[in-house]
Amino acid sequence: MVSSARLNQPCGWTSLFCKERRISANDFRVNESIRVPEVRLIGPTGENAGVVSTRDALKMAREAELDLVEVAPNSTPPVCRITDFGKFLYEREKKEREARRAQTKIEIKEIRLRPKTNEAHRDFKVDDARRWLEHNMKVRVTIRFRGREITYPEIALEDLKEIAQQLAEVGTVEQAPAIEGRNMSMLLAPAKVVVKKKKEDDAEKEPEPSEPARE
């Protein structure tokens, strides 16, 4: 059980849980810091206990050796839950971390070529595209036409198909080759195996918050 005095005490160490507690203490009222006369109470197992006095809710939390946490302050009356505050913070951080991962934007890079670009230069550009795809970035491959080159779009189309085949292990065609103005381009997205590996690598880099021990 976390006392209000503990919550207001400044953190003198840099553990993840300490940072979480300090931030969350500003977001949630806990135990004696809940000043309203009555609350809508959610019990330890998630059951709806209805509207009770805050004094009774605190008593129930103490008897269960848990905390009373205000989870919906803008409701009338505010909604409070009997739970372990440390575990509550842990679960909250876990959900926020998963949400951040889900919202990660994939960057789009671009390589630009000409119809029948010499092989050495094209391979150099394809290597760039491969590296970007392996780092979970999308790649737009654009072939730019000059003069009468646009009257032979099949040459550019063949180039794009060959590049897609070269990168098939790390990328898939998300947007098929299409002409826009004097350009023909296609969009490659990281292959599923690349996306999976990137998520696994990110999970290893981002430390899991350790669940605090009950006091």
How confident is the model over 133-159, as pLDDT tens digits? Answer: 998 899 999 999 998 898 999 999 999
For the segment 159-173, what is each residue's pLDDT rounded down to a tens digit?
999 999 999 999 999
User: Which domains are present in the chain?
Assistant: 4-93 (3.10.20.80), 108-199 (3.30.110.10)
3-state percent helix, strand, coil for the chain, nearest multiple of 5? 45, 25, 30
User: Is the pTM value of this prediction over 0.75?
Assistant: no
For the segment 41-88, what is each residue's pLDDT rounded down to a tens digit?
999 988 999 999 999 999 999 999 999 999 999 999 999 999 999 899
- Kindly indicate the confidence band of residue 99, based on its pLDDT and cuts at 50, 70 and 90: confident
Between 63 and 22, the more confident residue is: 63
Which residue has tokens 């990168």?
A: 167
> Residue 21 corresponds to which tokens in the numbers above?
């507690």
Q: What is the distance between the terminal CA atoms of the chain, rounded to a whole angstrom? A: 7
Mean pLDDT of 94-109: 77
Mean pLDDT of 168-184: 94
Angle between helix 153-166 and helix 119-134 axes, rounded to 10 deg: 50
